[in-house]
Amino acid sequence: MKAISVFCGSNFDGNPVLLKAVNDLADAMVEKEISLVFGGGRVGVMGLIADAVLKRGGKAIGVIPQFLMDKEVGHTGLTELIITENMHQRKQKMADLSDGVITMPGGFGTMEEFFEVLTWLQLGIHGNPIGLLNVDGFYDPLLLQIDLMVEKKFLKPLNRELVLSDHDPKTLIERMEKFDSKPDEVWFRDRNLT
């Protein structure tokens, strides 16, 4: 992998466990010469991961829509900053630039980005690995919900395996490097008619 998109929050509550995860992820990415692609903000966890990668001599590519630049939240000290017209173009550009995705703790926007690229993987639009960096158990409830989707037959077990998860950034990247996309593309068949 040459570049990973990191989805994460535009807020940061000062949690030292999360800050350690940010620095550990930056260490792992720079050690493997993996460029960071992220939402282009200078605030919150976004700004922290960009600064951590840059401080270690890595590359940080931000992709931000114009309306957020206008609010003065864009990070101007990056390797490259790409400004898009809207959020849809931002997500597409980030996907185009990346060989994988890591989702760190965040809010609605982070979840929306995670589920969109995960759905694209399930549909075969891309074959890139998608990982949840499960910092301090943040994503335990989400993983339980995904397992419930399987139990209730809204999600096939093979597609459940598309979500990689680990609390350690280095281990997560290693798992992503070994990922072989095999989604069950017959997700739309009515089980009662087969």
Residues 18-61 pLDDT 10s: 999 999 999 999 999 999 999 999 999 999 999 999 999 999 99
The pLDDT value recorded for residue 47 is 95
In whole numbers, what is the pLDDT of the chain averaged over residues?
A: 93
What's the CA gap between 105 and 6, in Å, rounded?
A: 10
Span 133-182, pLDDT tens digits: 999 999 999 999 999 999 999 999 988 999 999 999 999 999 999 998 77
pLDDT given for residue 194 in this prediction = 43
**Under 8 Å CB-to-CB from 176, ≥6 apart: which residues?**
1, 4, 100, 102, 129, 131, 164
CA distance 194 to 180: 28
Please, what CATH class does the domain formed by 3-179 belong to? alpha beta
DSSP element (H, E) containing 131:
strand 130-133
Q: For a pLDDT cut of 90, what percent of the chain falls above it?
A: 85
Strand-by-strand arrangement of the 35-38 sheet: 80-84, 60-65, 35-38, 3-7, 101-103, 130-133, 163-166
